[in-house]
Amino acid sequence: MNNNRKALVVLLIVCLLIFLSVSRTLRKEEKDNEPEKQQQTVFKADIIVYNTRNKVIERMDLDEYIVGVVAAEMPASFEMEALKAQAIAARTYALGRALGKYGSTVDRHHGAHVCTDSTHCQAWIPIELYQAWYPKSNVEENWAKIEEAVYGTSGLILTYNGEVINPLYHANSGGITEDIQEVWSSVSEVPYLRSVYSEGESDYSSFEKKVVLTGEEIREKLIKAYSDIVFLGPVSEDVEVVEYTNSRRVKEIRIGSIRIPGTKFRELFSLASTIMEFNFTDEDVLEVTTYGFGHGVGMSQCGANELAQKGKNYEYILKYYYTGVEIEPMSEEIKTRLNSY
């Protein structure tokens, strides 16, 4: 009986050892068969930037520059996938200018690839200015989040038929983006910059703005811009929309004896958008309600955030706003060209 117990114990130990050995082997095989987790490769390239604040030309690491662009162009409170979409769009935008595309040449930036003037290139801020721009923010936390978005998409750019695209973007589309040729009449149709619906943007503070313009203000601005204009009466008689674009934006306005593009009217009176509603609160007072913020072409930043909140990733967001594009790493040839300057 004693011997039987000993034999049983030995047998159990042997079985346990066999089980542990097989288990280790299976775990190793599973690990070996798992797809390797791809670590994001950081693409090292430089870009030459004209800093309009201190009027200095600086050579910067491309991704470090893009961190400053995203920090200036999109709230860090936005979803990570929206920030990643912004990072790729900003990188592509800068790259196109660095390569001399889309009307950009180095002589326009004092010999640099790009500048930090948001009316000409992209906005950019260093971490030292972030607190001043966003006084209530947690600088370290927000900056780290932006860096994650940028370095997590390092080297990725947008192309169409193998060419670096012109990834225009704006704050809020007012519910629908615009075809590029409706904003810049000198530009022919661009297949990836087409009007698309953009839902959920009415919840943002940038969606609706109201501006009151007096007849005196309107006449003063228009006379400076168009010396041959003739006014026929109060603004209620002198101002009317002649034509809209397919995205409900004002395409042409008659003011007195002349007609001007809606984009020019927006520029003259610093309006948020060309999606406009006119209301004459008095015969010589015009209240303009605008919807959206920006030119309306390409990616809507608020719309991108809405899609991200619905679980869409940066690839979906970018391909939604830029029709028919691809997302791919920038080529060695491009990196070599950037680093050769």
Residue 28: the pLDDT is: 47
Paired with 213 in beta bridges are 286
Mean pLDDT of 121-130: 94
Q: Which of 275, 311, 319 is nearest to 81 (CA)?
A: 311
Residue 200: the pLDDT is: 96
Strands 208-214 and 169-170: unpaired
How far is the C-alpha of 13 from the C-alpha of 322, rounded, in Å? 65
How far is the C-alpha of 116 from the C-alpha of 256, rounded, in Å? 39
From 5-19, 87-101, 195-209, the region with the lowest mean pLDDT: 5-19
214-251 per-position pLDDT tens digit: 999 999 999 999 999 999 899 999 999 999 999 999 99
How far is the C-alpha of 130 from the C-alpha of 127, rounded, in Å? 5
How far is the C-alpha of 193 from the C-alpha of 331, rounded, in Å? 23
162-184 per-position pLDDT tens digit: 999 999 999 999 999 999 999 99
pLDDT at 192 over 60: yes
How far is the C-alpha of 242 from the C-alpha of 260, rounded, in Å? 10
Predicted TM-score (pTM) of the model is 0.85
291-314 per-position pLDDT tens digit: 999 999 999 999 999 999 999 999
pLDDT at 33 over 70: no
pLDDT at 280 over 80: yes
| Phi and psi at residue 338, to the nearest 5° | -65, -45
Report the mean per-residue pLDDT for the chain. 89
Going from the C-alpha of 281 to that of each of 74, 80, 236, 270, 276, the distances in angstroms are 36, 43, 9, 20, 15
Which tokens sit at 334? Answer: 């491009």
How far is the C-alpha of 188 from the C-alpha of 179, rounded, in Å? 10
* Residues above pLDDT 90, as percent of the chain: 73
Q: Do 110 and 120 contact (CB within 8 A), yes or no?
A: no
**SS3 of 10, please?**
helix
| Phi and psi at residue 101, to the nearest 5° | -90, 165
DSSP characters for 297-322? BSEEHHHHHHHHHTT--HHHHHHHHS
Which tokens sit at 9? Answer: 């114990």
Which tokens sit at 221? Answer: 């601005």
Q: Is 250 left (phi over 0), alpha (psi -120 to 50) or beta?
A: beta
| Phi and psi at residue 73, to the nearest 5° | -95, -25
pLDDT at 9 over 60: no
Q: How confident is the model at residue 103 (pLDDT cuts 50, 70, 90)?
A: confident
